[in-house]
């Protein structure tokens, strides 16, 4: 972590105190004010205020049988109750590894193949989108579906998802398009965020370096204040 901070000129950091061995955390060039640190969201969740924005990161339960997506639904609900609802009046970004597909991306999946190959995503032969649907119902927006227009000074929903699948990389060596391929890592923003900041781009970073760094590709968001 110290090497990464030095390489990117970060001056502050925080690692979750109530997490298990799968730590979640923040690194920043600005001061991090920790708001919440909870253990009920899978591997843990933290919220911090940085430069006037509430940032939330979490890591939901990964490997499981077909009850896994139900477990993640309960974990999402704990984050919504403990953090998202509490800071709904502020610009907020939620990001992390949810280990769950989104209903917004349903068109990209072959449900039969997905459920034959990965019960982790499915219940009773169908993809269980409930964990992500609960985030959408809580007023969060998948920023891969938004784009900012300087001419109109507002964000507009897109008719397509600008982000590719985030899992998995060549570390797991899946066949492209196999049931293992899915978008399960996200950056969500609430309506207050979309009112004050424009989404320049949100994308999954796929390159030779990220292909070997983890079993998931990182998701990147660039945004600008709306003046």
Residues 182-200 pLDDT 10s? 888 999 999 999 999 999 9
Where do the domains of the chain lie? 2-225
Tokens of 114: 């997905």
| Helix (H), strand (E) counts: the chain | 6, 14
Distances (CA, A) of 104 to 9, 42, 120, 195: 36, 23, 18, 22
Say what the pLDDT of residue 176 is.
Answer: 46
Tokens of 59: 């890591």
Tell how far CA 225 is from the center of its chain: 21
Indicate the CATH number for domain 2-225. Answer: 3.60.10.10
Contact 186, 162 (CB under 8 A): no
Rounded Cα distance, 72 and 41, in Å: 8
Say what the pLDDT of residue 191 is.
Answer: 98
Q: 70 φ, ψ to 5°?
A: -70, -40
Cβ-based neighbour number of residue 176 at 10 Å: 7
SS3 assignment, position 21? coil
Rounded Cα distance, 156 and 139, in Å: 16
Q: What is the pLDDT of residues 36-90, one digit of tens each?
A: 998 876 678 999 999 999 999 999 887 655 566 788 999 999 999 999 999 999 9
Tokens of 215: 């079993």
Rounded Cα distance, 38 and 45, in Å: 5
Q: What is the pLDDT of residues 101-137, one digit of tens each?
A: 999 999 989 888 888 876 678 888 899 999 999 999 9
Reading phi first (left if > 0) and then psi (alpha if -120 to 50, else beta), residue 153 is in left
Tell how far CA 176 is from the center of its chain: 22
Integer Rg of the chain from CA: 17
Query: For residue 10, with 0-12 CB atoms within 10 Å meaning exposed, 13-18 middle and 19 or more buried, which class applies?
Result: middle
Say what the pLDDT of residue 70 is.
Answer: 80
Tell how far CA 157 is from the center of its chain: 18
Say what the pLDDT of residue 25 is.
Answer: 94
pLDDT level of residue 179 (50, 70, 90 thresholds)? very low
pTM score above 0.75: yes
């Amino acid at each position: 972590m110290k090497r990464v901070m030095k390489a990117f000129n970060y001056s502050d950091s925080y690692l979750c105190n109530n997490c298990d061995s799968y730590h979640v955390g923040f690194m920043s060039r600005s001061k991090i004010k920790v708001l919440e640190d909870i253990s009920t969201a899978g591997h843990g969740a933290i919220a911090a205020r940085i430069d006037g924005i509430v940032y939330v990161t979490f890591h939901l339960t990964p490997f499981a049988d077909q009850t896994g997506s139900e477990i993640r639904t309960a974990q999402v609900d704990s984050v919504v109750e403990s953090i998202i609802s509490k800071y709904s009046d502020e610009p907020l970004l939620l990001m992390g590894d949810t280990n769950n597909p989104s209903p917004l991306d349903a068109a990209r999946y072959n449900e039969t193949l997905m459920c034959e190959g990965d019960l982790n995503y499915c219940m009773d032969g169908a993809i269980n989108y409930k964990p992500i649907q609960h985030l959408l119902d809580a007023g969060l927006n998948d920023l891969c579906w938004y784009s900012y227009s300087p001419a109109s000074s507002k964000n507009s929903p897109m008719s397509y998802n600008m982000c590719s699948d985030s899992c998995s990389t060549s570390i797991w060596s899946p066949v492209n398009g196999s049931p293992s391929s899915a978008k399960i890592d996200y950056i969500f923003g609430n309506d207050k965020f979309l009112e004050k900041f424009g989404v320049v781009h949100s994308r999954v970073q796929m390159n030779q370096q990220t292909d070997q760094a983890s079993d998931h590709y990182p998701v990147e968001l660039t945004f600008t204040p709306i003046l």
